[in-house]
Amino acid sequence: MVPIKLNQDQLEKVLKSVIGADGNEYAASRICRRLAGGQGVRTRVVNVDCSVGNISDIVNKSINPYISHLGLYVACDRPVRPFENRYKQRTSEVLWGLYAAAANDPDYDNLDDDLDGLADQYPDLLAVGPGDEQAVNAWVDDLAGAEK
């Protein structure tokens, strides 16, 4: 996933969608402004720059439901190499960014059709429960045969 960079017009539409009814800018708009630059932003940078604690909570409650009509969403992605703190310990920090909705992504256009095809070909796979590995094994064997 690659974050997108918003132009001024796009940013204004996003801000109009997330700014509070009283016209004041709160955490949601600060996060959107910070992420509009198009680069993945580390968790701690968003925390400090936007004066927020729980980024996920704000994104899920105050941003994504209000910008989805624009075909955008805020999400996080794990870095290729985990970040380290000053003690050289790995952290759980992620990179935050604004993304175009996957439904508009040509790589995902046929995903529903592909999944429907798998469901038709392997109807037992959807009904698999704990301990019922027969359908899964048949599916895996077929996939392994297709790769050869």
Q: What is the pLDDT of residues 116-145, one digit of tens each?
A: 676 677 666 656 555 555 666 666 676 666
In this model, does residue 37 exceed pLDDT 60? yes
Do 64 and 74 contact (CB within 8 A), yes or no? yes
**β-bridge pairing 41-42 and 72-77:** unpaired
Residue given tokens 């992420």 in the structure block: 35
pLDDT of residue 3: 92
How far is Cα 124 from Cα 141, in angstroms, rounded to an integer?
15
Looking from the CA of 107 toward its CB, the CA atoms found within 13 Å total 4
Q: What is the pLDDT of residues 66-113, one digit of tens each?
A: 999 999 999 999 988 899 999 999 999 999 999 998 654 555 555 556
| Alpha-carbon distance values, 146 to 56, 62, 119, 142 (Å) | 39, 44, 17, 6
Number of helices (H), then strands (E), in the chain:
7, 3
How far is Cα 11 from Cα 28, in angstroms, rounded to an integer?
13
How far is Cα 110 from Cα 118, in angstroms, rounded to an integer?
12
Reported as a pLDDT band with limits 50, 70 and 90, residue 4 is very high
Q: Nearest 5°: phi and psi at 98?
A: -95, 135
Which pTM was predicted? 0.68
